[in-house]
Each structure stands twice: as structure tokens, then as C-alpha cells.
Structure 1
Amino acid sequence: MTHKIIDLSDEVPIRRAGDGSLHSFFGYYNKTNFGPSDARLLGNRTPLFTGDLTGREVAEVGFFDLTDGDRWHKLGETTAWNWQMGCQLQWLGDTGQVIYNTRATTVPGPDNIYPDFRSQVVDPATGESRELPAPIYVMAPNGRFALTINYSRFIKTHRTIGYPATRAEPGLPLAPDDDGIWRMDIETGKTELICSLRRLFEFEHVPSMDGATHWITHMEVNPSGTRFLFIHRWTERPDDEFCYLHRLFTINGDGTGLHLLEDTDHPLPQLEKDFDPSSHGTFDYEKSEWQISHPLWKSDDEVIVWGPHEGEIHYQLYNDRTGDVSVVGNGILTENGHMTYGRNGRWMLSDTYPDAKTNERTLFLFDCEKEVRYDLGTFYTPADLGKHNRCDLHPRWSRDNRAVCIDSVHEGCRQMYLLDIAALLDRL
């Protein structure tokens, strides 16, 4: 299948965004940081290149003006951030406003799980801002509501994407009925629990759930805002990702219509007392044959995910309405990555995790019609960054799908880079 993978990196201009005076990054791949008309590029800036975060480190929040020599416009600051997802910074629908997570100041929030975290809405045109009573995890595309989960639960289960508590970490029951997925109205701030961890614990229950800590991750809202997807995970050993068990769900925006797409419950030899979790490499788990990760909507009814189905792990495309499952890029796309579709569904943008020998990641486009992978570049990452401080490429489309933004450390600092793919797409 080597003829199905073509290196076109020589045809793709790439440049750093900004002057590099501070380290800059955006975080995740599941939303664009390009603003209306692709004129502004959201990001965080910090003097830190890496480091284990304590919740006291400050990151600037703002954007680079791509029409004015990448001039930086600071919108605020936050201590509610991590290297993988940043502060969930994003554009608020098509309003031109920005929303991001912050640490609590004065606005009351749901006392049971959110005493520490909030979200902030800022209007770059006026500088006006307002605080909402809960943090966000993912926004509806129209900007009207957000879904959120307990970031303190991540500190125990998936520290890479959590925020440390302001003081002491709260106690975490295994699968409570007052914690789970919350929906927040952006205009009013009204927040309600729409799916509890206890409900998921009881839904098609399996014995491995008993005695396990449960949590929710990777929520994504479909384009029309009617349904969303999420991964339900549970484990008896939160410090070892190889002990994670996974289920992929979809559900209506009001919490009705829960639908199980995939369940990877399986025996766990890692739970044996003599098992040594340090025997795994940093990225070995991302290449596990049981991993469900990085699900995203292709359309209102289709979900792309890296995961196993019927004994084989691939990029899988699920139809939420019919239950059909098909493999994307069989024999060509053979490892986990951060994938998103372009607007017409022909092109899928994704990346790989670092190669164990070269420590390089590959950024690529996949032509879903011709089934050809076009490599856009390879990017080195130091092997010693570790799990929590790593810098994945997390590729993100511009709104016109003519450019790509990535986070990278290949030049020895953490920066955002812009790749111009316009001429390449025109040729192809």
C-alpha cells in the first residue's frame, strides 16, 4: 500500500505564527482557532516551555491578527489550563466573541463539583466580559449551549486534561448520581445535569465496572446541535491507562435517547499485582488495540473514531442512525491520530503519534474518495517531554479549509505553525 501514501511536504509552505517571544499553543484539534474570515488565530501564551502544572501558572489568552503581521491581542489570563487542551479557548459560534475556562472568582456555581472553575466570555471588539457559573468542555456549533464535566475528576483519572484544585482535591465517589454531563445555557448560565455517572454505571452493566472509578471524556456536539457523543471510561487503576475500559455513546442534547455504539470491555492482565506499569512507553497506550479515542462527528449521523470493531482496530465510521460501521483508509491509516473532516467530507486531516525510533510525528491529508494519504510534513518532538507535558500536533482547519494550524515543538520551543495547503488542494 506504499503507493497510497505520497509525501508532498515540499509543496506545503509553513511558518510560525507570532514573533516567538513567548511559547504559544492552542491545544485540542476538535475546533478551529481561526476566527471569522480566517483573520484572527486564537491561542494561549506562556513563558513556560513545559512543566507539571499546579494550577497557579498563568497563561495569556488572546489572538494573533493574521492581517497585521501576527500582532498579539491579549484578551485575558487564566490558571485553568493544561498543555493538551489549553483552557478550552474557542470562538462563540459566529458572534466574534470568545469563551475560555478560568478559575473561580465570585459567581456561584454547582457546589457539588464546580467550586473552583468557571468560564469567561469576552467580546474582542469592546473588551467587555462576563463570567459563567461553570467551565466548558465543548460548545454547540451555534454557540448557544456548552457541555461540561468535572475537571477535578480528571486529576485522578486523566491528569493530562484536568485542572488542579485551588486548594484540596475533592473526594470522588466511584459512580455518583450527582456528577456526569452538565449542560449550560450560554446566555443565562443555567446549568443542569443531563446524564449521571450512575446512569452509565447501570446501563448494560458489566462486572468490570464494580469497584472502578468512572468518568466521561471526548464529548462532541453534532453540526445541528441535536445530539452529542462521548466516551464513558472506567478503571480500578487510574494511574495506568492500559487499565482503562471504554464505551462510545451518543445521546440527545437534553439527555434522552442514550445509544451505545461500541463497548471494549475486556480482560485486564495489567490488574495483576506483579504488573509493572512503568514497562510501557509514553505513547504505547495510544497504540493499544483496545483504545477508543478522538471521536468526532462527520455529519449529523456519522461518527469517525479510532477504535476496535469486530476484533480489528481502525479509523471506524459509525452511522448513529442505522448502526452501520465501515473502515476508513483500510491498510493505509494504520495508527491512532487526531482527525477532522473538511467541509465537503472528501478530505480528512489527521496526524500520528511520535515514531518510537525517530520521535517524529507525521501530519497528513487523506483523500476519502481516492483513498490516498498525502503527507504534509514530519515534526520532531523531544522524547523526554513526558505524558502530561507533551505537545501533540492537534491539526486544525482554517474556516475556508485552505490552511492548517498545528502546535509543535520541532524548533525547540512550543509554538503554533501555519501550513498553506491552498495550492496543493487546487492541484489535487
Structure 2
Amino acid sequence: MSRSPSDEPCPVKRIGRDPGHHFFGYYDKTNWGAQDRLLLGHRVADRDFELTPETVAEIGYYEMADDSIFHVIGSTTAWNWQMGSQLQWLDATAGQRLIYNVRAEGELYPGFGSVIHDLETGESRLLQTPISVAAPNGRYAVTVDYQRLYITHRTIGYVGENGPKRDLPLCPDDDGIHRVDLETGETQMLISYAGLKALDHRPSMDKAIHWVSHIEINPSSDRILFLHRWTERVEDETCFLHRLITMNPDGSDVRILECSDHPLPQLAEDFDPTQVGTFDYEKSEYQISHPLWRDDRQVIVWGPHDGSIHYHLYEDADDGQVTIIGKGILTENGHMTYSPVDTRWLLTDTYPDPVTNERVLILFDVDNNVRHDVGSFYADPALTKDNRCDLHPRWSQDGQRVCIDSMHQHERQMYEIDVSSIVNS
């Protein structure tokens, strides 16, 4: 059987009943912590609005035994609708320390830093560097320039106090991916944009602006993956070109797992980028997106390989094996993660259907090649690329529940979904 609606109900429950709008952000970090007793999130004043450098999001958590109260522990003005403030646990099992981005003087990237907060002591410590993702071992994080991202991929960047950065160098040799020591705050550049351009150079890179996104660290904290992207037209995401790359935490042993360099007719002078729909880019046949480690040596990603686009599982090795996941069943780009307790189960979602505006939450049984549609959630078509609300599903630590962000009830809220009837079958 290739596709099945859930035979058992999967109860959906809104988290919290306090005033305001709540969300967590991206799919790649779980907001569940302390044996699933705590749930991290952001609280904002309204469900959608234009962000400015002064726009505040409160940082806090819910006690899942009593989910009516959002416990505020801080606030930030360094955030966006897609990834929030990069709020994440530094020790999800213990659920004691967390980190999030803020505006600060900033040593590496002026204007931005991060805060480490200890829930047990109530103490906070400021780092003069923002972070993208913290290693599971809690010792280091990796980061890039969020003001550069605001120009190249606005939905995941931060605007500076004085507005967008102008005259960005296309491919500098003094900026790139940095490693941050979470104890000392010291930074080290792992690879520069110029270094990436020189790595298996492609002619399409010559006039393009370069950046890095979707950085992820494997469970053992000894390999890093990221997307290297470049384009001559940042206004049109269908013009983005992509490479999936891995490396060691010191910048050594760099491997290109996939490259989707291809001709771009959209660069013709008479092409109108305003005619590109909000989700056209996410449905491109050349898109490489949403990579994540399945384990220490395998990476799942939505992208093309050997001329066709699927969910692909890559071995992190030179000339490593590439396997299609859900061929003919999982046919759309989504935000996917494997269950933390059983990699038989792959969790993902879809972008809104162009007719119904419904997005589907999916559990895929990898062993038996069966798709379970857990639920369908309406997405307001009036939302823009910048302030949309993707489901971004995130597993609980015990693999029995899922947390999503959604606006299907006309507010931006977090929801808990019990999937135990499926995963325990």
C-alpha cells in the first residue's frame, strides 16, 4: 500500500490559551525539552506584520502539564517569521540551557549577538556573535551574516538598524561560515565565500552573489552540512543555484554531495520576476532544500539527482550512495525529519495546494513505503513569502507527538498532535 489516511485519529490540540500569538520557527530544531515537559516558543503581538529592527518577540516556554501559561524568560528584536530568533536547546534532554539571537554590539557581525539562558539559575550570558545552529554536544555553534541573508534570502535574514546593507561584496574572502566557541565566544572562519567559489568552480558563479544557509550539525557533532547558494538575481528565487556540502568542524574534508547548476532563462532581460508565485521556488525541479542529518553519516534532502527530483538520502562520502525515499508517493518539497527514536518514520509536510490552500502533515513509513496523511491545515493565501506560516513539524523527544506552527484558526499558534496511533502500529 503506497498511501493511506490515518486509520486512527491523531488528536490536535492548541498549545496555550494566553493572549498573543505564538510560534517556534524552523523544522530542524526540536522545541521539546526536559523529557518533553517543556516546549520553547516565541510570543508576538499580532499574527502577521512587517518586521522592523525594533519589533519585539518574547522568548519563553510552556510547561506541557499546564500549557495555559507562557513563561517569558527574555525578548529579542533579532528574528524573522520563518526561523524566529534561532531559539534552541543547548541540552534538550536536560532542558536547562537554551540560546537565541539578539541585537548587540557584535564583534563578528556588528549589531547582532546571542544569549545563553539557564532556566535553573535564571542567569543569562551574552555572546557578541549570533548563531545559526548549536552542536548537539553544546560546545560550539556555527553562524553566518544575517544581514547578508536579508539581501540574498530575505525570509531568513535580519535587517540592520540602519536598514538593508548596501554594496555587499559578491564573494568576499574575509567572510563565510564561522564557528563560535560557546564557552569563550571565540570565532574561527571555517570556509570563505571566495573559497566556496573556487571549490569545483562553475562559470555561473562568476557574476553571482554567494551565501550559505541551512547549516546543520550531525548528532556526534563531528560533521557539518550546509547549502552553498549563488544567483545573479536575488529578487527571483527560481534563479538560485545550489550545492549540498559537508565538512569537518574545523573546515577540513569538504565534500560536495550534490550540485544543481543549470541554465537560467529567467535571467533574460525581458523576464518579469514579479510574475513568480510565492511558492513557485519551493516547487522548482532544481531546488535543493531542507537538508538534515538522518544520523551521523546520512543526509536527507529534497532535491534533484540524476535528472529527477525526490527526497534523496545521501551517504556522506566521496561518490557515496544516493537513495530515493518515497518514490512516486512523496512528490512535493517539504520540511522533513526522522523520528528521534525510530528512523522507520519520516515526518514532513507540504506547501499550500494552489486551489484549496491546504497544507498536509505527513508521516511516511520508510520500511513499508506507506504514507499516512495526519492532517490538513488551511493557509491564508493573503500571507506573503516573508510572513507566511509553514507547519515546520517537530518531533517530541519520545517520538509520540509532533508540534507544528499554524494559522488555520486565524491566529498564529503552536499545536500538539498525538501521532502515537500511527508510530506504534
Corresponding residue for residue 48 of structure 1: 46
Question: Conserved in 2, the CA contact under 8 Å of 1:9 and 1:377?
Answer: no
- For residues 93-242 of structure 1, the aligned pairs below 5 Å read 93=91, 94=93, 96-105=96-105, 108-110=106-108, 114-170=109-165, 171-242=167-238
Corresponding residue for residue 378 of structure 2: 380
Secondary structure of 1:31's aligned partner: coil
Question: Deviation of residue 311 (structure 1)?
Answer: 0.3
- For residues 1-80 of structure 1, the aligned pairs below 5 Å read 3-8=1-6, 11-80=9-78
Secondary structure of 2:66's aligned partner: coil
The whole-number CA distance in structure 1 between the counterparts of 2:76 and 2:333 is 31
Q: Which is further off, 144-153 or 47-56? A: 47-56
Corresponding residue for residue 255 of structure 1: 251
Aligned: 1:338 with 2:335: yes
Question: Deviation of residue 9 (structure 1)?
Answer: 7.6
Residues 64-110 of structure 1 show CA distances to partners (whole Å, capped at 9, x for unaligned) of 111224321101000000000000001112451110000015xx512
Corresponding residue for residue 86 of structure 1: 84
Question: Deviation of residue 56 (structure 1)?
Answer: 1.2
**TM value normalised by structure 2:** 0.97
Question: Conserved in 1, the CA contact under 8 Å of 2:236 and 2:276?
Answer: no
Question: Conserved in 2, the CA contact under 8 Å of 1:140 and 1:221?
Answer: yes
The whole-number CA distance in structure 2 between the counterparts of 1:68 and 1:27 is 22
Letter in 1 for 2:368: K
Aligned: 1:300 with 2:296: yes
Question: Deviation of residue 15 (structure 1)?
Answer: 0.5
Residues 367-412 of structure 1 show CA distances to partners (whole Å, capped at 9, x for unaligned) of 0100000111000011010100100000000000110000000000
Q: Which of residues 313, 316, 321 is equivalent to 1:317? A: 313
Question: Conserved in 1, the CA contact under 8 Å of 2:150 and 2:157?
Answer: yes
Letter in 2 for 1:398: S
Secondary structure of 2:35's aligned partner: helix
Question: Deviation of residue 424 (structure 1)?
Answer: 3.0
The whole-number CA distance in structure 1 between the counterparts of 2:67 and 2:410 is 23
Identical pairs, percent: 55
The whole-number CA distance in structure 2 between the counterparts of 1:208 and 1:422 is 47
Corresponding residue for residue 369 of structure 2: 371
Question: Conserved in 2, the CA contact under 8 Å of 1:9 and 1:376?
Answer: no
The whole-number CA distance in structure 2 between the counterparts of 1:286 and 1:20 is 34
Letter in 2 for 1:359: N
Q: Which is further off, 320-329 or 215-224? A: 320-329
**TM value normalised by structure 1:** 0.96
Corresponding residue for residue 287 of structure 2: 291
Question: Conserved in 2, the CA contact under 8 Å of 1:212 and 1:235?
Answer: yes
The whole-number CA distance in structure 1 between the counterparts of 2:367 and 2:265 is 41
Aligned positions, number: 420
The whole-number CA distance in structure 2 between the counterparts of 1:204 and 1:29 is 30
Secondary structure of 1:357's aligned partner: coil
The whole-number CA distance in structure 2 between the counterparts of 1:424 and 1:331 is 21
Unpaired segments ≥5 residues, structure 1: none
Letter in 1 for 2:117: V
**Aligned-residue CA RMSD in angstroms?**
1.2
Question: Deviation of residue 54 (structure 1)?
Answer: 1.6
Secondary structure of 2:421's aligned partner: helix
Corresponding residue for residue 329 of structure 1: 326
Question: Deviation of residue 278 (structure 1)?
Answer: 1.9
Question: Conserved in 2, the CA contact under 8 Å of 1:80 and 1:101?
Answer: yes
Question: Deviation of residue 277 (structure 1)?
Answer: 1.3
Residues 16-59 of structure 1 show CA distances to partners (whole Å, capped at 9, x for unaligned) of 00115100000000011011110010000011211221221100
Letter in 2 for 1:301: R
Letter in 1 for 2:240: Y
Secondary structure of 1:386's aligned partner: coil
